[in-house]
Amino acid sequence: MTTPTNKNDPSSSKVANSSDGLRNRANEQGRPQSQQWSRLLVLCIAVALGGVVTARALCPDVAWLSRQHIDLLCSVPSSLLNGWHAAPNTMSNGTHEFRETMILISVDGLRQEYLERGLTPHLLEMSKTGLRADYLNPIFPTLTFPNHWTLMTGLWAESHGLVANKIFDPATKKVWLPTKKESFEPEWWFGEPMWETAQKAGLKTADIMWPGPRTSQSGATPTYSVPFNFSYPIDAKLDRILEWMDMPIEERPQLITMYEPSLDNSGHETGPHSLRTNQTLAKIDSWAGNLTASLQARNLSDIVNVVILSDHGMADTSAPELIYMDEILGEDFVTIEYIDGWPSMGLHLFPEANASRILEKLYAAEDPTKFEVFTRETMPARRHYANNPRIAPIFITPHLGYALTTTVLNGTEISVGNHGWDNIYPDLRAVFLTQGPFAERMKTKAAAYASGSPRSDSDLWQSTKGSGSDGYVMTNFNNIEIYNLAMHMLGIQDRAASNNGTVGFWDAYV
């Protein structure tokens, strides 16, 4: 990408006029014009690095240049050389230089169906000026922390270690809970987050409250960071993003990540169909409109990639059928050392427990229409949820509409809206939409297919009606692909860490 010439910079016109003179003199001496420009570039670099003596050594016949021209080259080499280096990586919004940038926003609990309620005109407009996916498929379990760390690393839960919102580590006997400060120590979080990869590539990064550690296992931290705070207003988050975007290019982050929990809170406390949930949804949509307008006002729509997505959906769990696990297991229930994995039940057993008898009781009570019992060996492969010691050796998963509990709790742990069940349920589907230069590249390639160009990726798009009501709609995909999307948007895909994303997934789109 070529850096636009600053027409208001007198030195730019001075260089242009002088180079015209050099070109004319060269042509008068019979040299090909392309050869003279190549020699001029070498000369500029030589002057910048070593002065006129070095220039004459590299170009012994430099005598055809006048002393006036040599003096001119000596007076502007740094700007000329900097522009030559920066050109492939910078863009101008008309007043300032920018590098490839991505703003990644997660709206917790934004389920795919919410976009069909007539309450999200700005999000829908964003998806039409850009594009969206039919839906984004969360990993199992459909819980906040496992999915956010998958979005950040491109790893399944069994690979990154955040296997639930409540975890028992049998090796250390430690318990992970989101309310414990020590749960955010790096030892719990495996994988390389995208902000670490970006910084390794020389980019600056910024984060607002993304669910995860502030420091990776290698000791890396985002360049700028706002710690988790439930009371941090969403409008203040926009202000902070714009402050970062308005920084000088040397200080400005190229990757900005942000987390917003208010919609998930509304869904849990009042259910996915409540007035409060709809009001929160409308507020978030208005916020998205303000973000888009703010970027347009800065003439950044063709420079900054914006991605808005969610970690999972939200289901109505106001009247589940309760299944009492202590009644099923009887006296063996007290031999369970720890239960984690809610709304599933992961059973970690004491050494003296009779695992075979416990499994027999569970299999005898199992009703595949209500709940299923798995071991690590029998866990469905599509879940990628077996190869980690933090995953309990006996794992019971209820179907949506059912809840596992005990006679003591009697279902009191279940709110009217929830998630965490299998990712096959439509209510738990997440959202993905994006706009910016990367989306335009995807649409350009999709349009070539729609116009009849020979292609083999018809399964990539659900709709390519650029002027229709649907716009460009990708076929649903797994959220493990988001890490590699960030690498592509930032132009550092060759620096990506090892992850579970599909090799070549985004290459097929662009």
Structure tokens at 410: 């009697």
User: Closest Cα partner for 102 from 293, 244, 298, 217?
Assistant: 244
Element housing 16 (H / E):
helix 10-28
Residue 468 falls in which region: left (phi positive, over 0), alpha (psi -120 to 50) or beta:
beta
User: Closest Cα partner for 195 from 186, 206, 210?
Assistant: 206
Cα–Cα distance for residue pair 109/309, rounded to 1 Å: 10
- Catalytic hit among 90, 101, 120, 144: 144
The answer to whether 406 is a known catalytic residue is no
Angle, alpha carbons 214-216-220 (nearest 5°):
85
Distances from the Cα of 309 to the Cαs of 104, 206, 243, 306, 345, in angstroms?
8, 18, 22, 10, 28
At residue 107, the 3 state secondary structure works out as strand
Cα–Cα distance for residue pair 87/41, rounded to 1 Å: 14
Angle, alpha carbons 121-122-123 (nearest 5°):
95
DSSP 133: E
Sign of the C-alpha dihedral computed for residues 143, 145, 146 and 152 taken in this order: positive
Distances from the Cα of 138 to the Cαs of 199, 262, 363, 399, 466, in angstroms?
27, 19, 28, 16, 27
Contact call for residues 190 and 387 (beta carbons, < 8 A): no
Element housing 42 (H / E):
helix 33-58
At residue 193, the 3 state secondary structure works out as coil
Contact call for residues 310 and 111 (beta carbons, < 8 A): yes
The secondary structure of 71-84 as a DSSP string is HHHHHSHHHHHHHH
- Amino acid letter, 115: L
Active-site residues, by number, are 144
